[in-house]
Structure 1
Amino acid sequence: MSIRSVAEAVYAKRLRGKLSHIPSHVAIIQDGNRRFAKSRGMDTGYGHRLGADTSEKVLDWMGELGIRHVTFFAFSTENFRRPEEEKVELHQLFMDTFSKLMTDERVYRNEINVTMIGDRSLLDDELLQIIEETEVATKDHSRFFVHIAIAYGGRNEIVATAKKIVAAVRDGSIPVSQITPELVTKNMYQGISMPPVDLIIRTANDRRTSNFLPWMANGNEAAVCFCTPTWPEFRYVDMLRALRVYDERMSELSA
């Protein structure tokens, strides 16, 4: 182990020891895969694959840190405008990711429940099948939860939920008097239950939240951490630094 690695491990241990508040739900915008690849003269697929490796590491970090819910922003509705070659690469990467999750021993040892949020009508049957098989295989897990946002757009989610509730009001199954924030939340995300977002992390130093979980994050006044490393470069110590942002906010609120 190099001197730098030892120093980083010591620093990480110190950071972890100072955290008094751990978020229940962390939402991550995994940005910078393409920039990382370009900076090294590689194709975009290289960056996306290394980014997927970082996402796998989070499975271990969740257990170590006690973060029960993590939502990854893997592919937005706007991403459908990307070049065809890149979309094909991402499609295969998603296929591989869900296949691995279905057989990953960590998923079963740590009882990780895996779900997808997003517009399933925009996915092809092949990908949708492997996603649903993974959801079925992990549906009884209730210790940790990984939500993967694919074909997701926050405003689209709110509009779709509004249409669903309006239809229910029209057919008489929901009276107008029962429309509450809790009812809206219950009707979002295809009925997938998740708590409000406590912390949003965006990598690659891009300072925007890109229409990600606006109802669950903005409504909860989630803390936001914009960090410099691209997603393939994101390390455990970077996760701890992001958690420090949340910890400092919670400490201020409780002061």
Structure 2
Amino acid sequence: MRIRDRIDPLYERYLQWQCKHIPGHIAIIQDGNRRYARLLGVGTIEGHRAGAETTQQVLEWAKEIGIRTITLYSFSTENFNRDEGEVNYLFDIFKEKFIGVLSDERVHANQIRVQMIGDRSMLPPDLLETIEAAEEATRHYSRFFLNIALAYGGRNELVHAARRVVAGVREGSIASDEITPRTVENYLYEGLHLPPVDLIIRTGNERRTSNFLPWMANGNECAVYFCAPYWPLFRKIDLLRAIRLYDQRIRARE
């Protein structure tokens, strides 16, 4: 057994002991799959496959720690500019994962509600069909929440919400002088469980939030944790370090 295999579990327990405040909602920008593939000298698809495995592991860690809501930035509106083969492969992965929700005993035993945020009109019909089936199958769950951001752009989502608010004013269902931040929020995520973000994590040594959840994150002044590992190399230690940052911020306010 390597020394690291012995030390890491001890350090994980130490970090968890330090964290007295657990964020209710963590949003993760999963960055670095392609750079990880280049690092290993393998194809981009291999990087995405490794990233998908990490995602599954992180969801298990989050459940163990007691984080109730996770939002994953899985595919942005800008990602449509990538190679067509890569985009199609990613869509196949998403479709496979959403289909898996229907029969995954962990999802139903833990009552995990699965939701998508993003521009549904930009997704292929077969993928959208599987997403809606997964959403319907978990609609009544409320113990944990998993939000997948697909075809997502923060500015794009604000534009769509503004259009819906304007339409409501024109129809007479909204009085223009009664529009509040709560009004906008309701039109942003109508019918979804998406509370304010407490903590954003970005991997891959990038120090920007890339237009991710500007209303629920920036508007809430959430904590932001940037870390160096590419997403496939993200460890439980990295997750706990991010939570420690959040904990320190909460303590400073007390």
Q: Aligned residue for 1:230? A: 230
Amino acid at match of 1:72: L
Q: Aligned residue for 2:81? A: 81
TM-superposition CA deviations, 1:52-104 (whole Å, max 9, x none): 11111122112211111100000000010001111111111111111222222
Give the 4+ runs in structure 1 shifted more than 6 A. Answer: none
| Pairwise CA RMSD | 1.0
* Identity between Structure 1 and Structure 2 (%): 54
TM-score, with normalisation over the residues of structure 1?
Answer: 0.97
Q: Aligned residue for 1:215? A: 215
Rounded Cα–Cα distance in structure 2 between residues aligned with 1:246 and 1:7: 24
TM-superposition CA deviations, 1:158-202 (whole Å, max 9, x none): 010001001100110111132111111111135312110000000
Q: Aligned residue for 1:189? A: 189
* DSSP 3-state at the match of 2:217: helix
TM-superposition CA deviations, 1:116-159 (whole Å, max 9, x none): 00000001110000000000111111000000000000000001
Is contact 1:197-1:220 (8 Å) kept? yes
Rounded Cα–Cα distance in structure 1 between residues aligned with 2:58 and 2:21: 18
**1:81-160 alignment runs, 5 A limit:** 81-160=81-160
Rounded Cα–Cα distance in structure 1 between residues aligned with 2:2 and 2:63: 26
Q: Aligned residue for 2:15? A: 15
Q: Aligned residue for 2:202? A: 202
Amino acid at match of 1:55: T
Rounded Cα–Cα distance in structure 2 between residues aligned with 1:219 and 1:123: 28
Rounded Cα–Cα distance in structure 2 between residues aligned with 1:5 and 1:59: 21
Q: Aligned residue for 1:4? A: 4
**1:154-193 alignment runs, 5 A limit:** 154-193=154-193
TM-score, with normalisation over the residues of structure 2?
Answer: 0.98
